[in-house]
Amino acid sequence: MVKETIFSKIIRREIPSDIIYQDDSVTAFRDISPQAPVHILIIPNKIIPTVNDIGEDDEKVLGHLFTVAAKLAKQEGIDESGYRLIMNCNKDGGQEVYHLHMHLLGGKQLGKLIG
């Protein structure tokens, strides 16, 4: 049994969040604690807790996360200046919410990859 997180409530719009894109398979919304001028989370609507839980059936939705990320980067005006996509996995990776998500960060010169 896969455990729901706060992100399931965001997908179902049961709690307020700044959703900027949603379709049948993914949802994107602004991070509650932005680390850069643009900080968007792009998540599969299906619960996949961590990168370790990705199966072959998920390859299509994961590819879709990237195309949505590129579209949103353009929409936010950071496609040319640049941005970073991050997926944290488990404790050492700094994962806090166990519903797979891609961070889209940009709008400033980002620091070193590993802090």
**Catalytic residue set:** 101
Q: What is the chain's alpha carbon radius of gyration, rounded to the nearest angstrom?
A: 14
Bridge partners, 30 (sequence order): 40
By CB under 6 A, residue 8 contacts ligand DGP:
no
List the beta strands (DSSP E) in 1-115.
Answer: 19-22, 26-30, 38-44, 83-86, 102-106
Q: Which amino acid appears at position 88 of this protein? A: N
- For the window 39-78, what string marks contact with ligand DGP as x by the rule CB under 6 A? --x-------------------------------------
By CB under 6 A, residue 29 contacts ligand DGP:
yes
Q: b/e per residue, 97-109, with b = 16+ CB within 10 A?
A: ebbbbbbbbbbee
Residue from the set 4, 13, 32, 77 that interacts with ligand DGP by CB under 6 A:
32
- For the window 88-107, what string marks contact with ligand DGP as x by the rule CB under 6 A? x-----xxxx----------
Residue from the set 31, 58, 76, 79 that interacts with ligand DGP by CB under 6 A:
31
